[in-house]
Amino acid sequence: MCSNFRKDFKFFNEYPDLIYFDNAATTQKPDIVLERMVKYYESENANPLRGVYDLSVKATDAYENARERTAKFIGAESASEIIFTRNATESLNLIARSYGETFLKEGDEVVLTVMEHHSNLLPWQEAAGKTGAKLVFLTPDMTGAISDEEIEKKITEKTKIVSIAHISNVLGRRNQVEKIIKAAHNVGAVAVIDGAQAVPHTKVNVRELDADFYVFSGHKMLAPMGIGVVYGKKNLLNNMPPFLTGGEMIEYVELSSATYAEVPHKFEAGTVNVGGAVGLHAAMDYIENLGFDYIEETELRLTKMMFEGMKSLPYINIVGSDRFEEHNGIITFTIDDVHPHDSASILNEAKICVRAGHHCAQPLMKFLGLNSTLRASLYFYNTEEEVDRFLDSLTKVRGWLGYGA
């Protein structure tokens, strides 16, 4: 069944022997996404939002239809709660700069976890440094689980913002986001969720979560690079200053002053990425036609197969939970006596793509007592045959460097 879906991707036709296990970094793009982008640039290309001529209106419609589609995809109440950015990193910077630096003050606390991607750490370091706020960190156990006691202890009356990943990009651990959001709201704090590793793999409804802000990137969910999303509750967005200023985000400009456009355009200065937006629209259509039930079932089956195969190899050390179902398609590991970069290079010779390094999560690596790891991450288009080849290749890595099995 998976092989049928692989026919939807020119990439897999181009590289039939390549095993791509770096989906947590970025996914491959189905033909329908590429074709929709080409169609836009071939027959709809104009500067949107600025012209009254037909072609500009067509471009504007394509862009705003993508916004409507995104709102529906994540269960937002209104398309005006959707802001397009370049990626999840820019989305988190927008929130930290526009909301955080505006409303934080000395003595306030911003709660994060030690598992955060640098994109959800550095912007808050900057905001805290500028406002005098303090960063507080939820500390997990070695599997990535955050206890109820830790949540109760760290989220207090001083907390003004809580910003956490929905799913860890290293451990694959799904955080108790519903519980953490509720704890934040109980003390009057705002909850920010980094959904970059969640939205491609599981159905997300921001209203059911009651998230105040939710961010994700298109390129991790079959869409092109260069398009990201901020969801924000309308009342919060209305009270935030612009992140960038310039063309299109204004209502009226004089030499010494300006008034800004309504949300969401207030946050989208300059010429926007319509090609990326229509690609995201097509990717969401593809994912929903496929169905999250199928995606989750396939990833769980492949994760189980990979996890159990790796556990049978005594020189493989899996980082995080000892339960495959808690990895959500992400398995981070080390190989005894072999540096992760060497391991990745050896696997590359077998045409297997995995990530090696700190995965933009150096504080987590330090917490775990590691400098670097390997990460294999799955998506619905991966196959059991690929997992078998991967496991077989793992048995040969140490031999390449002269170690016995």
How far is the CA of 157 from the CAs of 137, 183, 184, 212, 350, in angstroms? 15, 10, 9, 18, 54
- How does residue 2 score in pLDDT terms, banded at 50, 70 and 90? very low
d(CA 16, CA 31): 16
How much is the average pLDDT of 105-125? 98
Which residues are bridge partners to 252 per DSSP? 259
How far is the CA of 326 from the CAs of 163, 172, 287, 333, in angstroms? 21, 7, 22, 15
Indicate the SS3 state at residue 203. Answer: coil
For the chain, how far is it from start to end, CA to CA, in angstroms? 35
Size (the chain), residues: 405
d(CA 15, CA 272): 33
Active site residues: 360
How far is the CA of 321 from the CAs of 172, 173, 286, in angstroms? 9, 8, 31
**368: amino acid identity, one letter:** L
Cβ contacts of 232 within 8 Å, gap of 6 or more: 81, 83, 95, 212, 213, 240
d(CA 278, CA 119): 25
For residue 264, whether the previous peptide bond is cis, meaning omega lies within 30 degrees of 0, is yes
Task: Among 2-6, 270-274, 360-364, name the one with the lowest average pLDDT.
Answer: 2-6
d(CA 45, CA 14): 29
Cβ contacts of 71 within 8 Å, gap of 6 or more: 77, 78, 79, 81, 82, 231
Q: Are 116 and 135 in contact (CB under 8 A)?
A: no
d(CA 375, CA 121): 21
| pLDDT, position 255 | 67
- How does residue 3 score in pLDDT terms, banded at 50, 70 and 90? very low
**107: amino acid identity, one letter:** G
How much is the average pLDDT of 351-365? 97
Residue 328 has pLDDT above 50, yes or no: yes
CB-side neighbour CA atoms (13 Å) of 380: 25
How much is the average pLDDT of 208-233? 98
- pTM exceeds 0.95 for this model: yes
